[in-house]
Structure 1
Amino acid sequence: MENIALIESFSEFKDDKLIDRVTLMAILEDVFRSALKKKYGEDDNFDIIVNPDKGDLEIWRNRVVVADGEVEDPNQEISLTEARKIEPDFEVGEDVSEEVKLVDLGRRAILALRQNLISKIHEHDNTNIFKHFKELEGEIYTAEVHHIRHRAIILLDDDGNEIVLPKDRQIPSDFFRKGDNVKGIIESVELKGNKPTIILSRTAPVFLEKLFEQEIPEVFDGLITIQNVVRVPGEKAKVAVDTYDDRIDPVGACVGMKGSRIHSIVRELGNENIDVINFTNNDQLYITRALSPAKITSIKLDEENKTAEVMLKPEEVSKAIGRGGHNIRLAGQLTGYEIDVFREGVEEDVELKEFSDEIESWVIKEFSRVGLDTAKSVLEQELEDLIRLTDLEEETIREVVKVLREEFEE
């Protein structure tokens, strides 16, 4: 009964863990073998018998009987006199099995056993948690805000598992309080020092894709497939959808009557502006759709270098570029083409790179980033719009405009 009582005292916290008794007994055997090896130097001559049904564990030490005074290894050998205290009819050369009581290991050893057992069970739990969440990578998950830090929000799920939502995986407009439920995608799961680190993301494109699956039955059922998703989290997104069923309008099904279906997704993403377009293998048509709401006059493609020269009427250029250059940038990411915008009817324009001796390259690059590649494309914009579109200082923009105007005044 001593062994049973001690084992129960060791495993009293079992019910709070996701661990069955059989697994617990296997861990116990491993822990006790470590203790035996530490006390006796080896454990290969010990038998550990586990009875998970009764919660019992027996330890037996096997030794060979030798003549009195000839014991060289006390762990492997026992003197005839000591052996006959166990059974009076033992003879030299026979094997002796003697039960080892847990209390015989000593109080300090038992305390060490308990700590080792707790450590092993935590390790077992962490392994199970890691495997569980590894299978959930790429899936939507919801957890509650537990602690708000400067660089991350710490969440807890219903099972008390800790999940991290880093600052750079949050939508810029996100604002959470302790106790709020947060939805995101399980982006990655790693073991760090035997402890699983679970990263949640609200900025990953796959989060938007999974929200479509969750909110739109035709996407969940596979009638509508999502071909590609690109995002500027919290600002704008483009989703290309397709269907094998000609009776279905994939865009209409995703958006719903007056935006009813997509509204909950937009709200979840902090009012992110979502463009849903029909996917096509026709690159010209695909680019045309991707640059919506701008109306394109013509497109010239270089399929080998994946570049597209798009001609638009002057009043359509700002629509194609979009606020902060998001529309043209996302259209390029969606289609895989580098898109250059040209204004219809504009002649004798000069590319900005021709001014590299007067305008620094990083400034030219910033204008190009928002689709302003030529002198006139910059000059046609109001100063306030240039400040809003780019990350440049007002003084820098004024200097650029001055240089460009001098070119045409000449």
Structure 2
Amino acid sequence: MKKQYFIYFLLLFCSQLHAQQQLTKVEYFVDADPGYGLGVDIPFTAGTTLDVNFSVSLPGNIAEGFHYVTVRVKNTNNQWSAVLTRPFLKESLTPRTTSTVTAMEYFIDADPGYGAATAIPVTAALTTDNSFTIPLPSNISEGFHYVTVRVKDANNQWSSVITRPFLKESLTPRPTSTITVMEYFIDTDPGYGAATSVNFTAGTPVVIPFTAALGNLPLGNHNIYIRVKDANNQWSMVGTKPFTVASTFGLVTSQTPSAWCKTAPFNVFYQVFGTYASDNVFTAQLSDASGSFASPTTLGTLASVSSGSIVANIPPSTTLGTGYRIRVLSSSPAITDNPSVEFSILDACPPPCATSLTLVPTTDDYSSGVLIKETNAQTGIVVATNRITGTARVTYLAGKSVTLNPGFFANNGTVFIAQKGGCQ
């Protein structure tokens, strides 16, 4: 059975080499050159430049492994261009049937061979979710290393490996010493010893309440950092705690999504402090693409006097981007200096949490925009043979698998991510 591979070439140099002559012939060959004019003809429209997509039919007797496809063109002066060659791999993939996982093993750094690594206890099942402890060899050196895990099924077939780096570092315990200095800073570190000092009685350990001076901090999210120094002049690690500076009205909460699609409504959650008039209306606003609220867009409103959520809708005409911000305002009292949160606008959302998603050429080809294609976060699968071109930024999310079949490709200049995840 012949397999077809899509090869793409941009042949703009030919007319420049030969004084803008018309291109009259395009041909390709696989591996060995049969001679000028004896390659396989590629249909095209004559012109001084050429940008053509074509399919390469592989000979039925071509061996498994790496090969080369070569293209050249000829002009009206019977002059041939230089060749353009691309490697490709022919490989017959035999689909595996679903089989029970029967063995699991790991090794550190060097692979000792299938079945010769350290066994991990596993209960036979179609899927496995296993946690285990890895004792390090006593002679392993300080520095970075790699641990690799693989499984075997009932058909004696091994999986691909999963590898994770780790660092071995010997930490010398510090002797207990009296804490002599405590200091804190907000948001920006001024340097050791230059932060705001906290008065306390030296000792080990130290538990002390204190009041931090907030000064003229702007409304919004901030972080306070605390550290101590001991009698040996050694500083501790830094402890951190987030906090919020608000006026009468609180900021948009973390439950509000950081990105959303233009075609689906979502909730903007807010928290309030103080007392509001009975006719008060909360309004969710969207900045422009650079984060400015000089001419905000209203996403939704809610007549209320307490914390809650506003159903928001992004206008279809809004440009996709990552520089937007969202804020919530109140009308009575009218408070407009409320903090905002970062927000990204994506393209159209996928259908509600499908179990499977099949993406095919033409119908599901993407050339622009920011898109998320997702299925169920536990059982979902994505199977793709579509094409990602232009400036598209596409993410595939699935709980079980993302399969990229022959025909799928993502061109240079695009951003493509396939990862475990999805909707509920």
TM-score category, normalised to shorter length: under 0.3
What is the TM-score of this pair, normalised by structure 2?
A: 0.21
Which structure has the highest strand share of the two?
Answer: 2
Which structure has the highest helix share of the two?
Answer: 1
